[in-house]
């Protein structure tokens, strides 16, 4: 029976309305609206200006490390190369301009640079990060739906990632590429659960070479493979070999340009410089200073972190039942243990996908940790930015006066309470909230159940 074009059009309209009413679509639209509002208004100039320097270096025909300005492993630099190509297509030449009004603040505050990036550049450099946010949310959604068969729980998992304050801030304001690291990391877990071990190794290599933290989770991946192939040693060896092959081959391919131009060691300067370790003028390694207490604590805590991860991997391997379920449960405390001390708030993005999965699958037990980490990390970043997030808006529109904004920030920096700078108080308070949320994850997962069992016995 033919109902005619009018009936077909009505059916299509009804189908579109049904799609738009799905919870995950509503969450997606809400999250995108928040990001699209933030992008042209706020920008963390200290971070974004370095991406502008890197793109200018690429455009001038230099390698990533031939001119100062890029301090990370190559993966994000390659992505910025793609961003540069897109900008060339649209004819966007001006990335940033120097404003003398900002110079007094640049001299007074390390997280400030007088080169203020344009609003157009801020938008273009954040768009790939927002796209990554969507993909990470989709992978979480898929895994929750596969494990529970519940569309609503899957939408909750998507929301806990996509609407998390620090996720939104890191991609849409700070323009930090940690979300790319998280994408490759979650993709590796997604592939591991499908026994695509070679591709899992490829994705994990990209994650580690974007930010090193996912490397700590390799023990959890190994525990999963051994548990999945318990009693089948040849298959376990084959799976581990494929995973290792993916890691090694991808790492070599990523680093071919740096190996050829002799800048391989310098690509790790973001680690060594922050610890006061680097290459001397004679080309020899030297330890000349510890530049911050935070990174000193990171080094001191490494043995404890590694031992804790070994213990968690062992518990995961010994877990009876489904290895997939054990993997996803133990990835939560493992990812949190990495950050017993967190030098920078955006690093916490590593933990959020596992929090989102755990809460949506197992209930609200860790919802308070999600709130503490998400809100605390965001507030810490806002305090650190100290009003500089409005520089692009003030510099390139008439909505704010740049000079007046700089004076207000300088006044806030000098404000004190009981002889202590207000800014220092706020940084300590917000860092404490973030750290508390992270520390409560392994406590709630391992220590509290152990204490209950001991009390019961």
Q: What is the mean pLDDT of residues 119-129?
A: 93
Give yes or no for residue 109 having a pLDDT over 90.
Answer: no
Q: What is the pLDDT, as a whole number, of residue 274? A: 53
Q: What is the mean pLDDT of residues 158-178?
A: 95
% the chain with pLDDT above 90: 58
Is there a contact between 170 and 126 (Cβ–Cβ < 8 Å)? no
Residue 313 sits at φ, ψ, to 5 deg, of -65, -40
Residue 233: band (very low, low, confident or very high) from pLDDT cuts 50, 70, 90:
very high
Residue 98 or 279, more confident:
98
Q: What is the pLDDT, as a whole number, of residue 364? A: 86
% the chain with pLDDT above 70: 89
Residue 11: band (very low, low, confident or very high) from pLDDT cuts 50, 70, 90:
low
Residue 293: band (very low, low, confident or very high) from pLDDT cuts 50, 70, 90:
low
Q: What is the pLDDT, as a whole number, of residue 301? A: 83
Q: What is the mean pLDDT of residues 375-401?
A: 92
Residue with tokens 């994000």: 76
Low-confidence winner among 50-64, 164-178, 219-233, 327-341 (lowest mean pLDDT): 50-64
Task: For residue 308, give both structure tokens.
Answer: 């804790």
Q: What is the pLDDT, as a whole number, of residue 66? A: 77
Residue 281: band (very low, low, confident or very high) from pLDDT cuts 50, 70, 90:
very low
Give yes or no for residue 8 having a pLDDT over 70.
Answer: no
Residue 264: band (very low, low, confident or very high) from pLDDT cuts 50, 70, 90:
confident
For every residue of the chain, which 3-state class applies, written as one string? CCCHHHHHHHHHHHHHHHHHCCHHHHHHHHHHHHHHHHHHHCCCHHHHHHHHHHHHHHHCCCCCCCCCCCCCCHHHHHHHHHHHHHHHHCCCCCCEEECHHHHHHHHHCCCCCCEEECHHHHHHHHHHHHHHHHHHHHHHHHHHHHHHCCHHHHHHHHHHHHCCHHHHHHHHCCCCCHHHHHHHHHHHHHHHCCCCHHHHHHHHHHHHCCCCHHHHHHHHHHHHHHHHCCCCHHHHHHHHHHHHHHHHHHHHHHHHHHHHHCCCHHHHHHHHCCCCEEECCCCCEEECCCCCHHHHHHHHHHHHHHHHHHHHHHHHHHCCCCHHHHHHHHHHHHHHHCCCCCCCHHHHHHCHHHHHHHHHHHCCCCHHHHHHHHHHHHHHHHHHHCCHHHHHHHHHCCCCCHHHHHHHHHHHHHCEECCEEHHHHHHHHHHHHHHHHHHHHHHHHHHHHHHHHHHHC
Q: What is the pLDDT of residues 400-444, one digit of tens each?
A: 999 999 999 988 888 888 888 888 899 889 999 999 999 999 988
Residue 289: band (very low, low, confident or very high) from pLDDT cuts 50, 70, 90:
very low
Q: What is the pLDDT of residues 179-207, one digit of tens each?
A: 999 999 999 999 999 999 999 999 999 99
How many CB atoms are located within 10 Å of the residue 427 CB? 16
Q: What is the pLDDT of residues 239-249, one digit of tens each?
A: 999 999 999 99
Q: What is the mean pLDDT of residues 276-291?
A: 40
Q: What is the pLDDT of residues 348-361, one digit of tens each?
A: 999 999 999 999 99
For the chain, the structural domain boundaries read: 41-387+424-456
Residue 424 or 275, more confident:
424
Question: Over the chain, what is the mean pLDDT?
Answer: 87
Q: What is the pLDDT, as a whole number, of residue 288? A: 36
Q: What is the mean pLDDT of residues 148-152?
A: 94
Give yes or no for residue 63 having a pLDDT over 50.
Answer: yes
Q: What is the pLDDT, as a whole number, of residue 418? A: 81
Is there a contact between 370 and 164 (Cβ–Cβ < 8 Å)? yes
Residue 279: band (very low, low, confident or very high) from pLDDT cuts 50, 70, 90:
very low
Residue with tokens 């390799």: 218
């Amino acid at each position: 029976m033919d109902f005619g074009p009018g009936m077909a059009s009505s059916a299509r309209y009804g189908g579109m309305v049904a799609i738009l009413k799905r919870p995950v679509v509503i969450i997606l639209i809400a999250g995108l609206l928040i990001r699209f509002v933030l992008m042209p208004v706020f920008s963390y100039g200290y971070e974004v200006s370095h991406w502008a320097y890197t793109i200018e270096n690429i455009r001038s025909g230099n390698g990533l490390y031939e001119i100062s300005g890029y301090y990370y492993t190559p993966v994000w630099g390659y992505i910025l190369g793609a961003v540069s190509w897109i900008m060339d297509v649209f004819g966007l030449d001006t990335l940033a301009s120097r404003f003398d009004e900002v110079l007094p603040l640049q001299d007074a505050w390390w997280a400030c640079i007088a080169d203020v990036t344009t609003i157009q550049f801020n938008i273009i450099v954040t768009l790939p990060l927002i796209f990554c946010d969507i993909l990470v949310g989709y992978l979480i959604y898929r895994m929750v739906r596969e494990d529970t068969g519940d569309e609503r729980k899957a939408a909750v998992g998507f929301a806990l990632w996509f609407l998390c304050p620090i996720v939104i801030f890191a991609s849409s304001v700070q323009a930090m590429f940690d979300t790319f690291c998280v994408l490759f990391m979650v993709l590796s877990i997604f592939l591991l659960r499908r026994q695509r071990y070679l591709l899992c190794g490829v994705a994990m290599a990209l994650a580690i070479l974007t930010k090193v933290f996912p490397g700590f989770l390799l023990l959890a991946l190994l525990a999963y493979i051994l548990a999945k192939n318990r009693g089948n040693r040849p298959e376990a060896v084959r799976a581990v070999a494929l995973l290792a092959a993916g890691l090694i081959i991808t790492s070599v391919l990523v680093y071919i340009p740096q190996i050829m131009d002799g800048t391989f060691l310098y690509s790790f300067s973001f680690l060594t410089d922050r610890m006061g370790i680097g290459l001397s003028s004679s080309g020899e390694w030297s330890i000349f200073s510890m530049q911050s207490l935070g990174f000193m604590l990171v080094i001191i805590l490494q043995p404890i972190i590694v031992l804790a991860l070994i213990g968690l991997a062992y518990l995961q391997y010994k877990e009876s039942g489904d290895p997939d379920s054990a993997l996803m449960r133990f990835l939560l405390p493992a990812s949190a243990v990495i950050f017993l001390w967190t030098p920078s708030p955006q690093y916490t993005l590593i933990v959020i996908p596992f929090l989102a999965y755990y809460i949506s699958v197992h209930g609200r037990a860790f919802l308070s940790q999600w709130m503490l980490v998400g809100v605390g990390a965001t507030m810490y970043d806002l305090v650190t930015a100290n009003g500089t997030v409005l520089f692009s808006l003030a510099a390139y529109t008439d909505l704010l006066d740049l000079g007046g904004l700089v004076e207000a920030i300088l006044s806030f920096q000098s404000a004190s309470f009981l002889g202590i700078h207000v800014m220092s108080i706020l940084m300590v308070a917000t860092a404490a909230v973030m750290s508390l949320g992270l520390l409560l994850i392994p406590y709630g997962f391992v220590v509290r159940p152990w204490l209950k069992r001991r009390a019961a016995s």
